Amino acid sequence: MTGEDAIRQVGECTVDPSTNEVTRDGEILHLEPRSMEVLGLLIRRAGEVVSREELQDEVWGEVVVGDESLTNAIIKIRRAFGDDARNPRYVETIPKRGYRLIAPVGLATPSDAAAGAAGPSRRAGLRVPLIVALMAGAAMLAILVWTQFPTTKPSASPTEPRALHVHPPGDLLRVGVRSFQGFGDDVANAYLARGIEETVINRLSGRPDLVLMRASDGAEPIVDLVIEGSVRAVDGALSASFRILDAHDGAILASEEIAPPVHEPLALEQEVERKILGALARDLERAGLNQRAAGYTDSTDAFDLFLQARAALLLRTADGNRRARRLYRESISHDPRFARAYGGLALTLAADYRNGWAEDPQSALEDALRMAQTALQIAPDLPEQHWVVGYVRTQQRRFQEATEALTAALRLQPEYADAYALLGGIATYDGRPEETVPLLRKAIRLRPQAGYLYYLLLGRAYYFMDQCDQAEINLGEALHRNAESIEAHLYHAACLVRSGHLDDAEWEREEVSAVAPGLTLREFFASYPLNAADRIRRLQADLETAGFR
């Protein structure tokens, strides 16, 4: 191994140039070759300012690239290190000059390298062969290795699960659902696990005899039972496990391994659902649930295409959105009564409008509403379909109708975190940012592992409330979770202008140019549903001060 390929200890992370990997907290993350070359130069010049020109000449040579290529590489390096551009511990931006690696650098010891290899890994960018046309697009998801269920107290006899927790007659059973996890040789099935988890939650959420909540190890709600599970794909074979725990003492009440003879995602989903509902039935006064509810599908092909579409939609790119729309339509062709596919199709059309990807934006938004309403007509008891209507109405700036749709969703599922979050977003759009904060706080309490969007909505509200210190904290959380969120970068830049940090605001402009080259403020505001003219003028003025045009 050459000196340049030697494994280095950089701060609390291990960097292996020979495999383009960074290990952080036992987690292995893959960098693209160009990004690793940029990092390699920063490591060799640790503590020195390396100009953008030097980095571009060294890494790209005679290939002509824009500034966004280098900026994008720096974003990916920071993401691998878990670094914060505003308060860096690894890579520091020197405005108008370049970048400097400020973390301590040394040769990794054998124990460092071994720890990285032995720890649980998540390799971004892995792709798998078909099972799995179905798993295409999963490279954008966090790929998880589920080694065992979380530690809990064992029951007295693991082979003979106890009866479910007894609660007083007439009381509602409180059930918490932890995130289902994906693992196996081809661990890019995390989104399949999410799909099964979502199905279980949606099937249970409408029951009048229980209260359903999301649960996590870090912040458990007060519940009677906890459901947790995992999904694996090994050599083309699908299997799953689930457990139901007594939340009061951690005892295992039900536990089962499921391996359907037909290796199809829909067969696995149906079997997991059937087993969980069967176990819960022993503690529910009413145990019946239709094998297939309105809004779901019996078609294996429709469900397969639906999962592929949802994974493509998560890419949040124009190409991914087009692919998702095509797949949702194919899913509907296999089952014209599949409400969730119509809801997904509506979201792709709304994304076309919001991101300027449609040739006729208003027509795209009208089509989105039509698809959302079709989904709602098929499955009026599914809260997610009311949420989709609310989202489309929000893009139309019809906030009262959006609020009515979200209120209907909450009547069906009172602990629906996304509904509270969107209500909070609407409050800011409508000039009432002070109402956003309690709604978003509630959403985060219900869903502690929330994605970047919840924190973006909080940061946006605090910006309009002239509390930029709070805004920067929450926008920083949003960017830590999604470094490519254009809206989060824009509001962060506006806050930095308000705080007098113009150099840092200019740096945010560079970050945006890397993610969305050529974006103009006119394009951004054309489809932005902010409804108060004075707030639009304020935000636009701050962004222009930061250098946006």
Model pTM above 0.75: no
- Phi-psi domain of 207 (left: phi exceeds 0; alpha: psi -120 through 50; beta: other): beta
pLDDT in tens, 213-244: 776 544 445 677 888 888 877 666 777 888 88
Q: Which domains does the chain have, with CATH numbers?
A: 8-118 (1.10.10.10), 138-281 (3.40.50), 300-545 (1.25.40.10)
CB within 8 A of 222, min separation 6: which ones? Answer: 174
pLDDT (0 to 100) of residue 272:
77
Residue 470 vs residues 71, 214, 467, 541: alpha-carbon distances, Å: 26, 27, 6, 21
Sign of CA dihedral 349, 355, 360, 361: positive
Q: What is the pLDDT of residues 527-544, one digit of tens each?
A: 899 988 899 999 999 999
- Model pLDDT for residues 356-377, shown as the tens digit of each residue: 888 899 999 999 999 999 999 9
* Cα angle value 79/507/462 (rounded, 5°): 80
Taking the mean position of all CA atoms in its chain, how far away is CA 198?
A: 14
Asked whether the beta carbons of 10 and 3 are under 8 A apart, the reply is: no
β-pair partners for 51: 98
Low-confidence ranges of the chain (pLDDT < 70): 1-4, 62-68, 96, 109-173, 183-191, 203, 205-210, 215-222, 234-236, 248-252, 260-263, 278-295, 449
CA distances from 6 to 3, 20, 233, 510 (A): 5, 12, 34, 32
Phi, psi of 94 (to 5 degrees): -105, 100
Q: What is the pLDDT of residues 27-86, one digit of tens each?
A: 888 888 888 999 999 999 999 999 988 888 888 776 555 566 787 788 889 988 988 877
Is 131 within 8 Å of 192 (Cβ atoms)? Answer: no
